[in-house]
Amino acid sequence: LGKDSEQVAKYRANELLHARWAMLAAAGIIIPEGLQANGADIRGGTWFETGAEMLNGGTLNYFAVPWTIVSNPLPLFLVT
């Protein structure tokens, strides 16, 4: 596994990429829950309720800004 330095470099680059996505996901879970716990009115503030909001016909309000309401968040994938 670690004999070829070129392969180790590829593994390292892939792990860094995965770690960055994990940190982004953690922030996406912790920040809305913290805001909701401190009184902010966030629909689907806990990570496991977000999908239920979409299935119940609701929309997601990103960053608590009304003009960022998106009924299908898939186009936001291009931003990341």
Torsion angle of the four alpha carbons 71, 46, 80, 61, in this order, in degrees rounded to the nearest 10: 40
Q: Is 18 annotated as a binding residue?
A: yes
Q: Is 43 annotated as a binding residue?
A: no
| pLDDT on residue 25 | 86
User: How many beta carbons lie within 10 A of that of residue 50, not counting itself?
Assistant: 18
Band of the pLDDT at 11, cuts 50, 70, 90? Answer: very high
Q: Say which residue, 18 or 72, is predicted with more confidence.
A: 18
Domain boundaries, the chain: 5-78
Secondary structure letter of residue 68 according to DSSP: G
Q: Is 33 annotated as a binding residue?
A: no
